[in-house]
Amino acid sequence: MAVFESLGKYRNTGLLILRVGLGIMMMVHGLPKIMGGPSGWEGLGGSMKVVGIDFLPTIWGFLAAISEGLGGFLLILGLFFRPVNMMLVCTMIIAALVHFAKGDGINGASHAIELGIVFLGLIFIGPGKYSVDRK
């Protein structure tokens, strides 16, 4: 159909919609974690035990919270786009592994896996024309 063939010229608009939508949702997940303070960060950072890291849980938790909260905001802006997506991929890998470790199976881990795949793909695609990082 002709209407679908012409949508290709709106690639950058599609990337903007994707960045803004994902960024808002990551901020919704991440900002409460940032506000949780050191005790919340310690609990969150304890998730690193699934990959054998059991030192400095507060630091790891803070990094995960920042990755989601501030990373979501940077995703919206398209600023530091690829490094932010790399951090989000790592965060989603740990989130998926935590679900598997709790016995939630693929259904429990699917949201983190799906987001990880999207963030990985965005690393290759880039932020698009409507971003601070545009080239």
Of 59, 92, 72, 85, the closest CA to residue 30 belongs to 72
SS3 letters across 94-106 = HHHHHHHHCCCHH
CA 1 to chain centre: 34
Domain ranges within the chain, ordered by starting residue: 13-125
pLDDT for residue 135: 64
pLDDT for residue 4: 81
pLDDT (tens digit, 0 to 9) for every residue of the chain, 135 residues total? 677 888 888 999 999 999 999 999 999 999 999 999 999 999 999 999 998 999 999 999 999 999 999 999 999 999 999 999 999 999 999 999 999 999 999 999 999 999 999 999 999 999 999 999 876
Helix or strand run (H / E) with residue 64:
helix 57-77
Report the C-alpha gap between 40 and 131 in whole angstroms. 32
For 111, what's the count of Cα atoms within 13 Å in the CB-facing half-sphere?
A: 9
pLDDT for residue 134: 74
